[in-house]
Amino acid sequence: MTEDARGELLDGRFDYRALKDGRVIVSHYGRPVTTLAGRDAERFLRRVDGLEDHAAQLLMARVTGNFKRGNER
């Protein structure tokens, strides 16, 4: 997984909530950003389970698309 070289995810800005109907809502500073359903939600929950906090933040940033890749600034 890509590294957070600038340390921008250390403050825990992302959070997720799993709903009874199987959907997962990923939030950024408390505001819903992405809703995952079906296979995407199941895959996300499997991947995030057991990750330490920083690795989970990286995964949620990638899922929401709020993550710059490569040499973007």
Q: What is the pLDDT of residues 8-66, one digit of tens each?
A: 566 668 899 999 999 999 998 889 999 999 999 999 999 999 898 888 888 898 888 86
* Among candidate residues 25, 29, 36, the one with its CA nearest the CA of residue 12: 29
- Give the pTM: 0.76
Structure tokens at 63: 């899922």
Q: Which position has the token pair 């939600």?
A: 41
pLDDT (0 to 100) of residue 71: 57
Which spans in 7-73 are helix H?
39-48, 53-64
The residue ranges of every structural domain in the chain are: 1-73
What values do phi and psi take at 17, rounded to 5?
A: -135, 125
